[in-house]
Structure 1
């Protein structure tokens, strides 16, 4: 059996580190990214490792035709073993509609495309964020019902109607979309289980990546959170990738439907109970 792995957002940052971890865990590894230059460079780097056969796949994760072609290619290569869906954008990168479309809607569409390939031993991780946790984001039942159906017609209009005009702030949209990813993973765990598959979400905290630094430059709260992080530092992309690699491994065979918060303890410090003396 030829095993196949897929990493989205594989051109840089946490996606590239996840790819570096997975290259020795599967026979064929597909690296998907919207940026052809970075995904080609990542492919060349990992191909020199002598482990899996690695190939690039230029993909905008919001492109349904591209997702269908990706599924076809994976099926041609072998048996789907691992998916690390890392691709996403942050608040400084787009308006609220684009944030929802890339971070939540595309996650559901990728799952829809690849779900028919799931079998015993297939494992997924989808990247969420600490944002809804540290922000204490809560939604009412009406908003939750809309959030749980991201492929519904007029989803964006419906989420604005139920949550209100604040959703047009990219930071709010980002937190809400990432909450949606975590909820989607819970649903998907129920769908994949009977097929023998598993899925978890991973919520990175303050991670030293190009995208993370871009956000920190314009969001003063991030500097405050960095000071409150018990480990007194930003995380590294390879540390998040190590958690993803474990969640995708056979050692995590009974792990599914949960979120793994990789934040150095900052959410515990900011949102948790007061520390006793």
Structure 2
């Protein structure tokens, strides 16, 4: 029996990258999956690939009416909702002085308002069932700062805080809320020019595991938090970053790469 046998999961931003790998893994572990995204062609193709246990719904996560439609279609097709993975996100590169208000509002609308609306919409359904698991995909940049990513970093810190508050509000109703903090991941967002692993990994010499992450590795963390294996885990921050948050190497000191 799979670890998500009989469960129904909604995965936003599920048409490609980490979301797509999460949808495929969840389905392989027994879940019915509702894949949501604005990328309709890719989302429909993925749902067809997975089969009858998958449903695609076109979905702008910053739109509250779209969230209501997702909830209605999920329940109509599968009867319940057990898992929500708030994965949809965008990144925007700009220094603070170059950042425009519309760009900031777009990032916050998708990365913060999206998960909040998801919890607001799906949380009551899980409360009524007396059980559920919500996972918010934050970032390593929700645990630290990064130059050139002020909007993205602010949004991912907000997701971290939202997770804590939601864990407090929904915990008494049997609903667990956690956040995952990926480091660099080989997706369209993390590798927009499609560079090969050997070249990419040269940028990760300060990371203990010395390489970029794979989307299926983030999906595996989401699987754990969605499953009953994590039945006593809520309000937690799970870093899946190759050890990046552990710190930076000092090349002149013992223990750095290339030293004994």
Match of 2:158 in 1: 180
Question: After superposition, what is the alpha-carbon deviation per residue over 1:221-244, rounded to whole angstroms, capped at 9, x for unaligned?
Answer: x98861201111101000110011
Alignment of 1:24-39 (within 5 A): 24-39=28-43
**The one of 134, 138, 143 aligned to 1:133:** 143
Name the SS of the counterpart of 2:34 in structure 1: strand
Q: Is the 8 A contact 1:189 1:257 kept in 2?
A: yes
The match for 2:80 is 79
- Distance in structure 1 (CA, Å) of the matches to 2:148 and 2:117: 21
Distance, in Å, in 2 between the alignment partners of 1:239 and 1:223 is 16
- Cα 1:226/1:45, change in 2 over 3 Å: same
Q: Name the structure 2 match of 1:212.
A: 190
Q: Within 2, Cα distance between the matches of 1:27 and 1:268? A: 34
Shift of 1:72: 1.8
The 3-state SS of whatever aligns with 2:85 is: strand
Shift of 1:270: 2.8
Aligned structure 1 segments of 4 or more residues deviating by more than 6 angstroms: 274-277
Gaps of at least 5 residues in structure 1 are: 137-168
Give the corresponding residue for 2:246: 268
State the alpha-carbon separation in 2 of the partners of residues 132 and 210 from structure 1.
20
Higher RCO (CA-CA < 8 Å; seq separation 6+): 1
> Paired residue for 1:69?
69
Instruction: State the secondary structure of the residue aligned to 1:99.
Output: helix
Q: Is the 8 A contact 2:206 2:249 kept in 1?
A: no
Superposed, 1:138-217 pairs within 5 Å as 171-214=149-192
SS of residue matched to 2:135: strand
Paired position in structure 2 for 1:146: none
Where does structure 2 lack aligned partners over 5 or more consecutive residues? 95-101, 256-260
Aligned length: 236
Task: Note the C-alpha offset of 1:25.
Answer: 4.2
TM-score (norm 1): 0.77
1:249 to 2:227 alignment: yes
Q: Which has the higher helix share?
A: 1
| RMSD (Å), alpha carbons | 2.8
CA 1:132–1:5: 2 relative to 1, 3 Å:
closer
1:112 alignment counterpart: 120
Deviates further, 239-248 or 20-29: 20-29
Aligned counterpart, 1:164: none
Asked if the contact 1:75–1:117 (Cα under 8 Å) also holds between the matched residues in 2, the reply is: no
